[in-house]
Amino acid sequence: MGMTFVFLMDPIASIDIDGDSTFVLMLAAQDRGHRVLYAHPRQLELRAGDPWVVGARPITLRRKQGDFFELGSAADVRLSETDAVFMRKDPPFDIEFLMYTYILDRVDRARTVLVNDPQALRDYNEKLAALFWPQLMPPTLITADRAQARAFIASHGKAVIKPLNGAGGAGVMLMTPEDRNLGSALDILTNEGRQLIEVQGFVAAVDAGDKRVILLDGEPVGAVNRVPTGGDIRANMHVGGRAERAELSDRDREIAAALKPELVRRGLIFVGIDVIGGFLTEVNVTSPTGLQEVDRFDGVSLENQIVERVEEKRVALG
Ligand SMILES: Nc1ncnc2c1ncn2[C@@H]1O[C@H](COP(=O)(O)OP(=O)(O)O)[C@@H](O)[C@H]1O
Ligand SMILES: [Mg+2]
């Protein structure tokens, strides 16, 4: 079939090929016969309103530690002449990332498949987006007001406070109303009342794990559980969380079904949602991960399914 797929991402040399989802997506694209182009999103250009990537490199990949990629010669590409663009830059979602989405917004959606749609990337902060479906979530308040946060924690007994643009569990803390560090924690997280944070009812079932469910066009295609270790409430791998096999439960399917129409409408093709004790906590759209973990536990190739779906979408564009 031989399509051209562009991957915009962080520097390839520093990825972990045994965990990185972008690596296996590129590998799947290559194995299915496509031309794979690699660039950092800062190589984006808007030439008289038309988005290009300057100096994109054709890349060849293999699963071999220390020798897993080879780059061809650099060339400028007009994105609306390619078949798909995968925006796979890792968070944080900062001003630079925001600018990249404005440029990607100008790609001709009638010719090129965007994974994920750049407008939705902007609109979906991973924590705030879950609040499109508050009925599926633990009780949650977004506020910069420390008194409001305190009142919420007092009324729930135990609550978790989190920065809104964090990742990997950084800054996530379990608080009780009587905790003598509560005032200080709220001062730090809200930057003395200047910054919005998330305050969320504590879900005790977190001890059984924080489940990542992978959605392809809103359909759940696999899951992996992450279990906190060492007494921490945080299940993130960064802080010692342990990955384990997970089945898709009826509740996961119910949550996915509720999200699906909106995700499909917004062009959110590849999404990772997080579910704690049956409650939705995050909708990750920027550069979701977890493919390799699910592949290993379930003996599947989610990346192959994703790339195949993108091919179908490209073909459907004509
Ligand atoms: N409401 C909650 N109840 C219990 N544990 C929570 C809750 N929210 C988060 N956690 C724990 O903290 C971890 C990190 O929180 P999360 O919301 O996923 O933020 P991050 O974006 O940093 O991953 C979760 O994986 C989970 O283990
Ligand atoms: Mg998380």
Instruction: Read off the pLDDT of residues 85-136 as tens digits, 9 standing for 90 and up.
Output: 999 999 999 999 999 999 999 999 999 999 999 999 999 999 999 999 999 9
Q: Kindly state the average pLDDT of the residues 15-27.
A: 97
Q: Give the residue whose CA is nearest to atom 1 of ligand 1.
A: 202
Please report, for the chain, the start and end positions of each structural domain, with discontinuous segments joined by +: 4-116+306-317, 126-131+205-285, 139-202
Q: Give the residue whose CA is nearest to atom 18 of ligand 1.
A: 169
Instruction: Read off the pLDDT of residues 234-259 as tens digits, 9 standing for 90 and up.
Output: 999 889 999 999 999 999 999 999 99
The atom number, within ligand 1, closest to the CA of 169 reads 22
User: Among the residues of the chain, which ranges form H helices?
Assistant: 21-31, 95-104, 118-123, 126-130, 146-156, 182-189, 250-265, 291-298, 302-317
Per CATH, which fold does 139-202 belong to? Answer: Dna Ligase; domain 1 (3.30.1490)
Instruction: State the Cα–Cα distance between residues 252 and 68, nearest whole angstrom.
Output: 35
CATH superfamily name and code, 126-131+205-285: ATP-grasp fold, B domain (3.30.470.20)
pTM for this model (two decimals): 0.97
Residues with CB under 6 A from ligand 1: 138, 160, 162, 166-170, 172, 200, 202-203, 206, 210, 228, 233-236, 274, 276, 281-282
Look at residue 42 in the predicted model and tell me its pLDDT. Answer: 98
Mean per-residue pLDDT of the chain: 97
Which amino acid is residue 283, in one-letter code? V
Identify the CATH assignment for 4-116+306-317 out of 1.10.1040.10, 3.40.50.20, 3.40.50.2000, 3.40.225.10: 3.40.50.20
